[in-house]
Amino acid sequence: MTEEIIIAGFGGQGVLSMGKILAYSGIMENKEVSWMPSYGPEMRGGTANVIVIISDERISSPILNEFDTAIILNQQSMDKFENTVKPGGLLLYDPNGITNHPKRKDITIATIEGAKESSILKTNKTANMIVLGAFLKLHPVVKMVNVHKGLEKSLPQRHHHMIPINEKAITIGMEKLKIIQDLRKVATMN
Amino acid sequence: MKEAILMKGNEAMAEAAIRAGADAYFGYPITPQSEVIEYLMHEEPQKRTGMVVLQAESELAAINMVYGAGACGKRVMTSSSSPGISLKSEGISYMAGSEIPCLIVNVMRGGPGLGTIQPGQSDYFQATKGGGHGDYRLIVLAPSTVQEMADFVDLSFKLAFKYRNPAMILSDGAIGQMMEKVYLPEQKERLSNEKIIELYGDWATTGKTANRERNIITSLDLKPERQEIHNIHLQEKYKMIEENETRYEEIRCEDAEYIMVAFGTSARLCQKVIQLGREKGLKLGLLRPITLWPFPKKPITDYAEKVKGFLSVEMNAGQMVEDILLAVEGKAPVEHYGRMGGMIASPSEILQALEEKLISNN
């Protein structure tokens, strides 16, 4: 199993930390992982993206131009990455702020209202975890017990009191996900 | 079993320096390797091992601090990125001349000049053929994983002290910035002066004892006869390093018809290219130099008899390809593919270049 994922949005939306939690969860599950961020001027006020790979095998290139999954949090990233999803792959996005919705017919498309659901939780800091939950529902690449361990490892000790609300956010994401177009084979449904 | 953790290449290298029992780090921040000094400052190794960490006022100051501490037989390290290494090159030449062991890390970015802060590999010539003036060589190691960023710190110190020569880790912005699973090495003790003398001899300025003359650490000798003898000694040492310390990794070379030669981030891209190529029935392999100097000439010469061609994949205009051409000795076609200025090729783009340059043309 190898899952190649791009996560993209604005700086501040928690793109890099979502990737880090996912990668750390992969390590907790004894998998090989890589986390390759955009860095430098791209990070400062512009778009942020990170390529996360989780695999049972040694990871070849941490830098890729096509992905099994794209997790998209803003329009610029949608424009840039819609066409990088492999045929049969997954595009998961937060429709908040998206004006041009994806048009691909050969991929699974799903939405999750991360920003909206996070505001219901009276915080804007869990939107990324809500989106992560939706992704894990669609592609359960790591077990929840390992996501918990991943959160413990990724968050500094002083933020550990935030773990329960992050886990709640993940559960909300799993529940509130909407599948727009489903190309997943029956075998991968469970 | 040791615990696997997720770390950036730059951070893993900084932690590995503390654990290698390094005595000092002198540096000056520059993207994309500022995490090295940031991590060390935050970690406060002076409280853990007594290791000194100091942000110098400039790259020139930093490299000359390395010279001073290295002359005392201490395990000293500095790191920078391309433009900073240019500034340090005078000091590096002096240390090569004075035979001072040390570790210099270059987390390369695109050049020339200030260039860009995105990853590059255009300092291959600088690292392997000089950079500074004079007939000298650095031992140059090229990590291609975060694990190797950590592992090569101790290895560099070992080689540097074994041969009394500066060693360099030549990395790039991608390996420095990315996070991977890493197993950190065990903590080693810093060495006392007595231990330094026991292990490496009494060449360093560890304090004059009654039983020997004073040690003078200098690269200056105005008598050309003596300077030539010194140069001959250096060349003999370099020959010994070439014979004993060449390192490389082969991936799927055993049945390969086409071999890519790449190091660092490019070597990672090429591992994906092998996968994409083999899905199409192309027998591709990768020869990854781990030491860029000494360069793994012999395995390339040997493969030149067996394969249909070599593709050098570098994030530059074609630098290592010159060493491949020398190794191949005209026995097989050698091509180069590279992106410049901080751009990174995609694996599919590299595969296309390989097909166009080596397969369609034949």
- Alpha-carbon dihedral of residues B226, B228, B230, B233, nearest 10 degrees? -140
Q: What distance in Å separates the CA atoms of residue B249 and residue B72, rounded to the nearest whole number?
A: 35
Q: Where do we find the tokens 């060495």?
A: B191
3-class secondary structure, B70:
helix
Domain membership of residue A150 as a residue range: 2-188
Q: Which residues of B touch chain A, with CB atoms under 8 Å apart?
A: 4-6, 31-32, 117-118, 173-174, 177-181, 265, 268-272, 274-275, 344, 346-349
Chain B positions touching A34 (Cβ under 8 A) are 178-180
Q: What distance in Å separates the CA atoms of residue A114 and residue B226, rounded to the nearest whole number?
A: 73
- Rounded to a whole number, what is the distance in Å from the CA of A150 to chain B's nearest CA? 10
Where does residue B226 fall: left (phi above 0), alpha (psi -120 to 50 degrees), or beta otherwise? alpha
Please state the ipTM of this predicted complex.
Answer: 0.93
Domains and CATH numbers, chain B: 4-183 (3.40.50.970), 249-360 (3.40.50.920)
Chain A positions touching B275 (Cβ under 8 A) are 60
State the pLDDT at residue A39. 75
Predicted confidence pLDDT, tens digits, chain A (190 residues):
999 999 999 988 999 999 999 999 999 999 999 999 987 665 556 789 999 999 999 999 999 999 999 999 999 999 999 999 999 999 999 999 999 999 999 999 999 999 999 999 988 889 999 999 999 999 999 999 999 999 999 999 999 999 999 999 999 999 999 999 999 865 444 4
Q: What distance in Å separates the CA atoms of residue B10 and residue B177, rounded to the nearest whole number?
A: 7
Residues in CB range of A49: below 8 A, 6 or more apart: A6, A7, A8, A9, A15, A37, A38, A42, A77, A81
The DSSP secondary structure of A99-128, one letter per residue, reads -S----SSSEEEE--HHHHHHHTT-SSSHH
Compare CB distances from A36 to B32, B174, B272 and report the shortest one's residue.
B174
Q: What distance in Å separates the CA atoms of residue B97 and residue B220, rounded to the nearest whole number?
A: 8
> Tens digits of per-residue pLDDT, A114-141?
999 999 998 888 999 999 999 999 999 9
For residue B146, what is the nearest residue in chain A, using CA coordinates? A34
Residue A39 and residue B347: Cβ atoms within 8 Å? Answer: no
Hey, what are A156's tokens? Answer: 């500094």
Q: What distance in Å separates the CA atoms of residue B169 and residue B142, rounded to the nearest whole number?
A: 6
- Rounded to a whole number, what is the distance in Å from the CA of A6 to chain B's nearest CA? 14
Q: Which contiguous run of DSSP H or E holds residue A165?
A: helix A163-176
Interface test with A, best of B107, B118, B147, B178 (most A CBs within 10 A): B178
> Tens digits of per-residue pLDDT, B229-259?
999 999 999 999 999 999 999 999 999 999 9
Compare CB distances from B6 to A27, A40, A59 and report the shortest one's residue.
A27
How many pairs of residues across A and B have Cβ atoms under 8 Å apart?
71
Q: What distance in Å separates the CA atoms of residue A63 and residue A85, rounded to the nearest whole number?
A: 14
- Rounded to a whole number, what is the distance in Å from the CA of B247 to chain A's nearest CA? 20
**How does strand A67-72 pair with strand A47-55?**
unpaired
How many CA atoms are closer than 13 Å to the CA of A51, on its beta-carbon side?
Answer: 23
Interface test with A, best of B11, B178, B179, B251 (most A CBs within 10 A): B179
Q: What is the domain count for chain A?
A: 1
Averaged confidence pLDDT in chain B: 97
Residue A60 and residue B346: Cβ atoms within 8 Å? Answer: no
Where does residue B59 fall: left (phi above 0), alpha (psi -120 to 50 degrees), or beta otherwise? alpha
- Rounded to a whole number, what is the distance in Å from the CA of B217 to chain A's nearest CA? 41
Q: What distance in Å separates the CA atoms of residue B143 and residue B128, rounded to the nearest whole number?
A: 15
Q: What distance in Å separates the CA atoms of residue A133 and residue A70, rounded to the nearest whole number?
A: 14
Interface test with A, best of B114, B117, B181 (most A CBs within 10 A): B181
**Single-letter amino acid code for the residue at B35:** E
- Rounded to a whole number, what is the distance in Å from the CA of B171 to chain A's nearest CA? 15
Q: What distance in Å separates the CA atoms of residue B334 and residue B322, rounded to the nearest whole number?
A: 9
Interface test with A, best of B1, B5, B6 (most A CBs within 10 A): B6
Burial class (CB in 10 A: 0-12, 13-18, 19+), A20: buried
- Rounded to a whole number, what is the distance in Å from the CA of B180 to chain A's nearest CA? 5
Predicted confidence pLDDT, tens digits, chain B (362 residues):
689 999 999 999 999 999 999 999 999 999 999 999 999 999 999 999 999 999 999 999 999 999 999 999 999 999 999 999 999 999 999 999 999 999 999 999 999 999 999 999 999 999 999 899 999 999 999 999 999 999 999 999 999 999 999 999 999 999 999 999 999 999 999 999 999 999 999 999 998 888 889 999 999 999 999 999 999 999 999 999 999 999 999 999 999 999 999 999 999 999 999 999 999 999 999 999 999 999 999 999 999 999 999 999 999 999 999 999 999 999 999 999 999 999 999 999 999 999 999 998 66
Paired with B179 in beta bridges are A35, B8
Q: What is the CATH number of the domain that holds A180?
A: 3.40.920.10
State the pLDDT at residue A184. 82
Chain B positions touching A86 (Cβ under 8 A) are none
Task: Please report, for residues B69, B182, B205, B208, the alpha-carbon distance to residue B214 in angstroms, rounded to integers and kept in the order given.
Answer: 17, 44, 8, 6
Burial class (CB in 10 A: 0-12, 13-18, 19+), B338: buried
Compare CB distances from B269 to A35, A61, A66 and report the shortest one's residue.
A61
Spatial CA neighbour of B276 closest among B361, B352, B339, B174:
B352
For residue A65, what is the nearest residue in chain B, using CA coordinates? B346
**How does strand A47-55 pair with strand A2-10?**
antiparallel
Q: What distance in Å separates the CA atoms of residue B301 and residue B230, rounded to the nearest whole number?
A: 32
Residues in CB range of B296: below 8 A, 6 or more apart: B246, B247, B248, B287, B289, B290
Chain B positions touching A5 (Cβ under 8 A) are none
- Rounded to a whole number, what is the distance in Å from the CA of A34 to chain B's nearest CA? 5
Paired with B180 in beta bridges are A34, B7
Q: What distance in Å separates the CA atoms of residue A109 and residue A91, rounded to the nearest whole number?
A: 5
Q: What distance in Å separates the CA atoms of residue A32 and residue B15, rounded to the nearest whole number?
A: 21
Spatial CA neighbour of B75 closest among B28, B21, B13, B37:
B21
Chain B positions touching A63 (Cβ under 8 A) are 174, 265, 268-269, 344, 346
- Radius of gyration of chain B, Cα coordinates, nearest whole angstrom: 21
Spatial CA neighbour of B185 closest among B332, B362, B21:
B21
Compare CB distances from B178 to A27, A35, A64 and report the shortest one's residue.
A35
State the pLDDT at residue A190. 41
Q: What distance in Å separates the CA atoms of residue B79 and residue B85, rounded to the nearest whole number?
A: 8
